[in-house]
Chains A and B, each alone.
Chain A
Amino acid sequence: MMELYLDLISSPCRAVFLFAKALGIPFEFKYVDLIAGQQYSSEFGKLNIVAKIPVMKDGGFTLSESAAILKYLVQKYSGSVADHWFPAGLQQRARANEYLSWQHANLRAHCQKVFLLRVRFPVIMGFEVPEETMDAALENMKQSLNLLEEKFLQNKQLILGDKISVADVVAVVEIMQPPGTGVDGFEGRPKLIAWRGRVKEELGEELFDDAHKALMQLSGLPQKLKSSSEFEKFKLRFQRFFN
Chain B
Amino acid sequence: MMELYLDLMSPPCRSVFLFARALRIPFEFKVVDLATGQQYSKEFGDISIVRKVPVMKDGSFILTESTAILEYLVQKYSGSVADHWFPADLQQRARVNEYLSWQHMNLRAHCSKVFLLRALYQIVMDSEIPKETMDFAVENVKQSLNLLEEKFLQGKPFILGDKISVADVVAIVEIMQPFGTGFDGFEGRPKLIVWRDRVKKELGEKLFEEAHEALMKSSNMPQKLKNSGNFAQLKPILQKFFR
Contacts and interface: CB of A to CB of B under 8 A. Distances in A.
Nearest to A64: B98
Contacts of B49: 147, 150-151
A103 B48 CA distance: 16
A90 B90 contact: no
B147 A50 contact: yes
Contacts of B151: 49-50
Chain A interface size band reads 35 or more
Contacts of A104: 101, 104-105
Contact of A102 (B64, B93, B102): B64
Nearest to A146: B49
Interface stretch (A67-75, A155-163, A179-187): A67-75
A71 B93 contact: yes
Contacts of B97: 65, 67-68, 71-72
A239 B61 CA distance: 42
Contacts of A102: 50, 64-65
Interface stretch (A93-101, A191-199, A222-230): A93-101
A136 B90 CA distance: 41
Nearest to A243: B136
A24 B240 CA distance: 44
A50 B75 contact: no
Nearest to A69: B94
B43 to A, nearest CB: 17
B90 A72 contact: yes
Interface of B, secondary structure class, is: helix
Nearest to B61: A91
A97 B133 CA distance: 33
A109 B105 contact: yes
A35 interface: no
Interface residues of B, number: 38
Contacts of B94: 61, 63, 68-69, 71-72, 75
Interface in B109-161: 109, 132-133, 136-137, 139-140, 147, 150-151
B76 interface: yes
A140 B71 CA distance: 28
B98 A94 contact: no
B20 to A, nearest CB: 15
Contacts of B93: 71-72, 75
Contacts of A90: 72, 75-76
B150 A49 contact: yes
A217 interface: no
B66 to A, nearest CB: 8
A71 B97 CA distance: 8
Interface string A74-110: 0110000000000000110111011011101100010
Given A133-B243, A150-B49, A68 B147 contact: no
A240 interface: yes
A97 B65 contact: yes
Contacts of A91: 61
Nearest to A93: B75
B68 interface: yes
Given A71-B93, A101-B67, A104-B105, A136 B243 contact: yes
A59 B226 CA distance: 56
B109 A105 contact: yes
B75 A136 contact: no
Contacts of A50: 102, 147, 151
Interface in A116-154: 132-133, 136, 140, 147, 150-151
Interface string B15-38: 000000000000000000000000
Contact of B104 (A76, A94, A101): A101
A109 B241 CA distance: 13
Contacts of B240: 136, 140
Q: Please name the 6 residue pairs, one residue from A and one from B, whose CB atoms are nearest each other, closest first.
A: A243-B136, A104-B104, A68-B97, A97-B68, A101-B65, A65-B101
Interface of B: 49-50, 61, 63-69, 71-72, 75-76, 90-91, 93-95, 97-98, 100-102, 104-105, 109, 132-133, 136-137, 139-140, 147, 150-151, 240, 243
8 contacts: A50-B151, A98-B65, A100-B68, A100-B101, A102-B64, A105-B105, A243-B133, A243-B140
